[in-house]
A = this chain, B = another copy of it.
Amino acid sequence: MQERDLDRPHGVYAAVLTPFDDDEAPDPGALALHCRWLLGNGCDGLSVLGTTGEANSLSVDERLALLERLVDDGIPAPVLLPGTGCCALPDTVRLTRRAVELGCPGVLMLPPFYYKGVSEDGLFAAFSDVIERVGDAALRIYLYHFPQMSGVPLPAALIERLLARYPQTIAGIKDSSGDIGNMLANAARFPGLGVFSGSDELLLPLLRGGGAGCITGVSNVAAFLARTVDQGWRQGDADAAEAAQARLTEVRQAFLSFPLSAALKETLARHTGRGRWRRLRPPLLPLNATDADTLAERLSAIAFTPPSVP
């Protein structure tokens, strides 16, 4: 068991889904309800407006409105780790500045992701530009490494340069590469950096290597399992942690081969009885009926249901 700084974000974060209404508009009330349920069922924090939350399918105004509404609705800003990284730096600056103003303890930041094969100098300039323009000492950035989706990896050499220049600001990394070797290498090389796994099945291996926790889509329905992994590990109960990890991995595998946001929304629609959960904004689409039934059968076969809803 390694030490970690409990004053900084750690533990289990859901990569929170974004509910939509009938006209494909985000539904802030339904989002706040879901967030409250997540906090009551195993989540230490909420990474809203990330990949699973379809943030890049939302305009900047829509994202700002959702974030502000969550805080207005009483979701405590200190549990929020919103995604703010856009293709265009002015958008990233605007979202990031507002998140800091609202009291979020950090933001999850994709690199600008349209241009591929950009130089390390260019990526450094991009993050640097955002930090300088936000210009707030309270800013804490969690770099978002998701090469399969963004097409723009964040190599260790870049992290090292950013940490050297902005040691207070660069607080962590979410690693959705699925590569435990990369996560462990970053955790070992940068002891002050909070390394979060984007993969449920890698939570315990990463915690053992000094990681901070996980930020995952499956935590929208199964955060209580990740919580048990995290608590077992913190309390030195290896058996409990391993048993919960095995169960969490089993649940994660039931979702494999389906588009994740659609599969999670389908599961919540069936679980809550709220059919609107099935809505996604194009280019993402709901599961078709066959896939929806197959997924339900797989979850049933492993006797998994999300926690009860109020």
Contact = CB atoms under 8 A, between A and B. Distances in A.
Interface of A: 24, 51, 56-60, 62, 87-91, 94, 111-116, 118-119, 121-123, 125-126, 128-129, 148-152, 259, 281-285
A57 B285 contact: no
A283 B118 contact: yes
A109 B155 CA distance: 31
Contacts of A87: 56-57, 87
Contacts of A121: 285
B284 A57 contact: no
Contacts of A113: 114
Contacts of A62: 88, 90
A151 B111 CA distance: 16
A88 B59 contact: yes
A283 B125 contact: yes
Contacts of A118: 259, 283-284
20 contacts: A51-B114, A56-B87, A56-B88, A56-B114, A57-B89, A58-B88, A59-B91, A59-B94, A60-B60, A62-B90, A115-B283, A115-B284, A116-B148, A116-B151, A118-B259, A119-B259, A119-B285, A122-B283, A123-B282, A151-B151
A123 B281 CA distance: 11
Nearest to A288: B121
Nearest to A56: B114
A96 B123 CA distance: 29
Contacts of A59: 60, 88, 90-91, 94
A116 B285 contact: no
A121 B284 CA distance: 9
A282 B148 CA distance: 21
A57 B148 contact: no
